[in-house]
Amino acid sequence: MMNSSFQSVNYPDRYIRHKGFMFYIEPIRSELDQQDASFVLVPGLDNEAYFSFRSVNYPDHFLRHQNYEIKLHTSDGSDLFRKDATFKIVPGLYGNGGFSFESINYPGYYIRHQNYQLYLHQSDGSELFKRDTTFSIVKGFIQ
């Protein structure tokens, strides 16, 4: 599979990246930034009809939600981890050809950036929410 990076639609100079095992949208400037902003979309850990995000530079770590924060963790083998690390990729809530990432165990909750950090939030229907949850999937910085 090709590595992917995820560009914010409303802050196009910023990409999803992990730092300190948390997730943010930030400008990508260094090689470390590029590594932290590159992921492999793999079949969902809980349901292969959906997707999980595996880190390129920490290949045994996955993006998951926990307490409504988006974190980078290794699997503990639990059903909860598999569900927390599996997302449905849907047409972007803001449109413009982007995509949004909906939790499979919290339907109606999406990965959203707020103050440049990523969270899992329920849709409030606002235009800001739609923009904050829409990303372009681009070729990964690291292949």
Report the C-alpha gap between 117 and 24 in whole angstroms.
Answer: 4
Give the DSSP letter string of the chain: --EEEEEESSSTT-EEEEETTEEEEE---SHHHHHHT-EEEEE-SS-TTSEEEEESSSTTEEEEEETTEEEEEE--S-HHHHHHT-EEEEE-TT-TT-EEEEESSSTTEEEEEETTEEEEEE----HHHHHHT-EEEEE-S--
pLDDT at 37: 98
pLDDT by 10s per residue, the chain, length 143: 689 999 999 999 999 999 999 999 999 999 999 999 999 999 999 999 999 999 999 999 999 999 999 999 999 999 999 999 999 999 999 987 899 999 999 999 999 999 999 999 999 999 999 999 999 999 999 98
What's the predicted TM-score (pTM) here? 0.95
pLDDT at 132: 98
pLDDT at 143: 85
Residue 85 phi/psi, 5° resolution?
-105, 10
**CATH 2.80.10.50 is the classification of domain 3-139:** yes
pLDDT at 1: 67
